[in-house]
């Protein structure tokens, strides 16, 4: 509600981003409310997904995750196995290669470094249909395992 007692915004009207933010900021400055403050934003973007310059591909990290932790596996050299397991991976190294070929997949996300992708390509027929093949677009081909394991483990 605004200062005159009218609704601060019309629920049926579409607002531009700057106008919507002005309304939200105006509402927050009028006084504190009890409970959590949150804003729900619904955006309509007139994008044509057939045009490559109008496609949106991104990931969003929620402040408290999704509530479901994901099991992360790391496809790495044998020398990096201990490090990956200590960072929170459920499986890593040569054991992972054998598990995948035996169709014993007990993880939700597979991450790898770019140097490991040629070796991993042989497993594409198994991982691809399950949407587990690492790719740079999904953020699963990484330079450092630590941050990726932490982020994906949160959910």
pLDDT-derived band at 6 (thresholds 50, 70, 90) equals low
Q: Is 135 helix (H, G, I), strand (E, B) or coil?
A: coil
Segment 36-86, tens digit of pLDDT: 667 777 778 888 888 888 887 776 767 776 677 789 999 999 888 899 899
Residue 87 included in any domain = yes
Is residue 147 assigned to a domain?
A: yes
- Rounded mean pLDDT of 16-40? 74
Say if residue 51 is in the same domain as residue 80: no
Q: What pTM did the predictor assign?
A: 0.61
- The pLDDT assigned to 67 comes to 72
Identify whether residues 145 and 81 lie together within a single domain.
Answer: yes
Domain count, the chain: 2
What's the pLDDT score for residue 30?
Answer: 65
> Are 140 and 90 in the same domain?
yes
Contact between residue 145 and residue 83 where contact means Cβ atoms under 8 Å apart? yes
**Band of pLDDT at residue 23, cut at 50, 70 and 90:** confident
Domain assignment of residue 139, yes or no: yes
Residue 2 has pLDDT above 80, yes or no: no
Band (pLDDT 50/70/90 cuts) for residue 32 is: low
Residue 50, domain extent: 1-56
Strand partners, 75: 112
CA Rg value for the chain: 23
DSSP H helices in 87-143: 94-101, 117-120, 124-127
Range scoring the smallest mean pLDDT among 8-17, 35-44, 98-107, 130-139: 35-44
Given this model, what pLDDT does residue 40 score?
Answer: 76
With a cut of 60, say whether residue 114 has pLDDT above it. Answer: yes
Residues 79 and 149 in one domain: yes
Alpha helices per DSSP H over the chain:
17-29, 81-86, 94-101, 117-120, 124-127, 145-154
Q: Report the mean per-residue pLDDT for the chain.
A: 83
């Amino acid at each position: 509600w605004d200062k005159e007692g009218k609704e601060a915004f019309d629920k049926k009207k579409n607002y531009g981003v700057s106008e919507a933010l002005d309304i939200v900021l105006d509402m927050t400055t009028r006084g504190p409310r009890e409970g959590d403050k949150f804003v729900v934003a619904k955006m309509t973007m007139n994008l044509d997904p057939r045009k490559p310059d109008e496609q949106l591909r991104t990931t969003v990290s929620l402040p408290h995750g999704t509530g479901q932790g994901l099991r992360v596996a790391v496809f790495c050299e044998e020398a990096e196995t201990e490090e990956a397991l200590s960072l929170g991976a459920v499986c890593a190294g040569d054991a992972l290669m054998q598990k995948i070929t035996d169709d014993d997949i007990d993880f939700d996300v597979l991450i790898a470094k770019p140097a490991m992708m040629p070796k991993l390509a042989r497993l594409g027929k198994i991982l691809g249909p399950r949407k587990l093949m690492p790719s740079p677009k999904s953020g699963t081909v990484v330079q450092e395992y630590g941050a990726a394991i932490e982020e994906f483990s949160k959910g």
